[in-house]
Amino acid sequence: MQKIVVSNKLSQMFKTELEKQIEKRLIPLEKNTLLAASTMVDPRFKKLHFCSPINAANAIAHLKKEILQELKLEDQRTVNLDNDLLTASDENVVNDIWQIHDEAVATARKSIESGNSGTNFPTELKLYLDQPLINRKIDPIQYWRENESAFPATSKVAFKYLTILGAFVPSERLVSLLNLICTDHRSRLTPSHTNQLVFLGSLDEEYWNM
């Protein structure tokens, strides 16, 4: 809107009012934690279009808490696995070269955990934010699938936010389909058959040609 140049007085009034309404209705959405976090974990946008640096910082702080929580859960799972390996090695006392490797990995993990603990910024979140934005036409879900091993905790948080539907149109379509299936003339439909019919009706045409 700011780049559009108009010469007509009426057009200028319309543009001014439209800018005012956009500012009134859309800019406050930056304060919505769900929308801000979803934008931040989208590698196509991150914090590029945030009008307020404070709102961007709040979104990053929210993601930081969730990623640290995910790291703690992963650390706990790793500690349990390492303890099981050590217990098994103590019981069987086997001279295995991979036992040395497992002990080295456990030591390296502990050093990484100490760097991610407390109030420190999660390393993988910092690396993600420092990377350049990807092309707008690339699927962000596919991006996180390909980089899941590089950002294990951040990818889990990203999947949590990016898989949320941006509109209720698909669910409304299913409700309409359900109304067409469960008519008064089909009163003997069982819940199981109803679920099957709704599922089949929700499939895209491409799946029927497989």
The per-residue pLDDT for range 163-199, each reduced to its tens digit, is: 887 778 888 888 899 988 988 888 888 999 999 999 9
Residues 114 and 184 in one domain: no
**102 lies in the same domain as 179:** no
Q: Residue 90's pLDDT band (boundaries 50, 70, 90)?
A: low
116/195 same-domain check: no
Which has the minimum average pLDDT: 36-45, 104-113, 145-154?
104-113
List Cβ neighbours of 164 (8 Å cut-off, separation of 6 or more).
34, 38
Cα separation, 208 vs 210, in Å, equals 6
Looking at the structure, tell me whether residues 68 and 46 fall in a common domain.
yes
Looking at the structure of the chain, the number of domains it has is: 2
Residue 117 has a pLDDT of: 52
Residue 9 lies in a domain: no
Same domain, residue pair 74 and 117: yes
pLDDT, one tens digit per residue, over 42-60 is 999 999 999 999 999 999 9
Residue pair 39/45 in contact (Cβ under 8 Å)? The answer is yes
**Least confident stretch, 100-104, 146-150, 154-158:** 100-104
Q: Are residues 66 and 94 in the same domain?
A: yes
Task: Tell me whether residue 118 is in a domain.
Answer: yes
Q: Rounded CA gap, 82 and 85, in Å?
A: 5
43 plus 94 within the same structural domain: yes
Q: CA–CA separation, 99 vs 93, rounded Å? A: 10
Q: Domain check: are 83 and 173 in the same one?
A: no
CA 65 to CA 40: how far, in whole Å? Answer: 14
The C-alpha atoms of residue 181 and residue 95 are separated, in whole angstroms, by 66
pLDDT surpasses 80 at 119: no
pLDDT at 77: 72
- Check whether residue 65 and residue 144 sit in a common domain: yes
Look at residue 110 and tell me whether its pLDDT is greater than 90.
no
State the residue range of the domain holding 148: 38-162
For range 145-169, the mean pLDDT: 90
- d(CA 122, CA 2) in angstroms, rounded, equals 37
pLDDT greater than 70 at residue 3: yes
152 and 174 co-located in one domain: no
170, 173, 174, 176: CA torsion to nearest 10: 160
State whether 147 and 119 are in the same domain. yes
* More confident: 8 or 82: 8
Same domain? For 84 and 127 the reply is yes
- Is the pTM higher than 0.75? The answer reads no
